[in-house]
């Protein structure tokens, strides 16, 4: 067993999902609103643009035992991963020079890039300290949170190195998003499952499921950049290429249209030309096909897990949220 539940403190009282989820939000709100005075104005600003907590939900759902109960340490880990995710968003907004995040002005736009970078670093340190504060330290060591932080950073760096690389391959792109996006989903699923006393074999299933759902989340987001408006997405859209980011719909178009790729590599292409090329080559349909493949592989894992029907339904709900079908 990776984590023998029998070794846990018998006096610890487990909690239901709804209570655990509320505790995660309270933990994050408390952390951001009561940070040290020197940084509190900036962290409190981030409270206005909270997300859907899909990574926290992933931790808690995977942490449910056969009775649907959750060890309270899972709350700390869930909050930790959400704060880590927030740190990456703050840094992303600096890199992208973004004005809007979740419908609100970004930290870097309001307070400047230097302040935002430092705040992102602070949130990273808070996340790791929070994760290390759980009662059973072995669970933290098994999770190996720093390893996932490394994967996210390397994924982001790999993306940056490939900015405007019109020769970026399908498989290299999947490698990039497996780090920068899917790694935190993998960590969330694995972390939650650790609290259920799973075997090594079951742990691999949860990690793979989290990775697949993270891939689905990013690939679906790639499509949203072409389809949504700023008003519906609550963040900049039609902007990936302008930031140098080559996503799968465009990779597919570049591969299919040699003249288009040559122009992109030379004088560059406009947003209207990109949209036309992606539409002409079925870039969005191709990306959704890859999403469907990951979806089907995810469902096979869910069906293979030794879990209750209720937990299975919740995992499918997460899967559907990642693919925006829920």
Give yes or no for a contact between 179 and 186, defined as CB atoms under 8 angstroms apart: no
pTM for this model (two decimals): 0.92
What pLDDT, on the 0 to 100 scale, is given for residue 6? 39
Residue 15 forms beta bridges with which residues?
70
Beta bridge partners of 70: 15
Report in angstroms the alpha-carbon separations of 56 from 27, 168, 171, 229: 12, 32, 29, 27
Closest CA to 84 of 138, 54, 120, 40: 120
Quick one: 6 exposed, middle or buried, by C-beta within 10 A (0-12, 13-18, 19+)?
exposed
Q: What does the block give as tokens for 319?
A: 């899967």
What letter would DSSP give residue 53? -
d(CA 58, CA 55): 5
List the one residue out of 287, 300, 295 whose CA is nearest residue 174: 287
Contact criterion met (CB below 8 Å) for 243 and 96? yes
- Pairwise CA distance, residues 193 & 95, whole Å: 33
Q: What is the pLDDT of residue 268?
A: 84
Q: Which pLDDT score is estimated for 3?
A: 45
Residue 171 is predicted with a pLDDT of 97
pLDDT (tens place) for every residue of the chain, 326 residues total: 454 443 445 578 999 999 999 999 999 999 999 999 999 999 999 998 888 999 999 999 999 999 999 999 999 999 999 999 999 999 999 998 999 888 899 999 999 999 999 999 999 999 999 999 998 878 878 888 999 999 999 999 999 999 999 999 999 999 999 999 999 999 999 999 999 999 999 999 999 999 999 999 999 999 998 886 555 545 555 678 888 899 999 999 999 999 999 999 988 899 999 999 999 999 999 999 999 999 999 999 999 999 999 999 999 999 999 998 65
What pLDDT is attached to residue 4? Answer: 46
Four-residue CA torsion sign, 60, 128, 84, 207: negative
Sketch out the chain's domains with CATH numbers: 5-322 (1.10.600.10)
């Amino acid at each position: 067993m990776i984590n023998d539940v029998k070794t846990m403190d018998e006096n610890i009282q487990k909690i239901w999902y709804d209570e655990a989820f509320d505790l995660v939000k309270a933990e994050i709100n408390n952390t951001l609103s009561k940070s040290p005075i020197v940084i509190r104005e900036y962290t409190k600003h981030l409270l206005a643009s909270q997300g859907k907590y899909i990574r926290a939900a992933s931790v808690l759902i995977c942490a449910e035992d056969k009775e649907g109960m959750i060890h309270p340490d899972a709350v700390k880990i869930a909050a930790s991963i959400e704060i880590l995710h927030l740190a990456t968003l703050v840094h992303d907004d600096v890199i992208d020079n973004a004005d809007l995040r979740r419908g609100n002005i970004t930290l870097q736009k309001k307070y400047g890039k230097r302040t935002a970078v430092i705040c992102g670093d602070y949130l990273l340190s808070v996340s790791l300290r929070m994760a290390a504060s759980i009662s059973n330290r072995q669970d933290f060591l098994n999770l190996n949170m720093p390893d996932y932080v490394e994967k996210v950073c390397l994924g982001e760096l790999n993306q940056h190195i490939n900015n405007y690389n019109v020769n970026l391959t399908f498989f290299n792109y999947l490698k990039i998003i497996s780090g920068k996006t899917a790694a935190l989903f993998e960590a969330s699923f694995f972390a939650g499952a650790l609290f259920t006393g799973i075997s090594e074999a079951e742990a691999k299933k949860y990690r793979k499921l989290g990775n697949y759902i993270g891939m689905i989340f990013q690939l679906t987001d790639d499509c949203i950049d072409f389809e949504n408006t700023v008003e519906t997405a609550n963040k900049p859209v039609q902007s990936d290429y302008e930031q140098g980011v080559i996503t799968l719909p465009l990779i597919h178009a570049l591969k299919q249209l040699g003249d288009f790729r040559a122009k992109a590599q030379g004088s560059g292409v406009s947003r209207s030309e990109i949209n036309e090329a992606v539409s002409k080559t079925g870039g969005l349909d191709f990306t959704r096909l890859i999403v469907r493949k990951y979806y089907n592989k995810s469902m096979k894992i869910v069906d293979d897990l030794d879990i209750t029907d209720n937990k299975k339904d919740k995992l499918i709900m997460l899967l559907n949220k990642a693919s925006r079908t829920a």
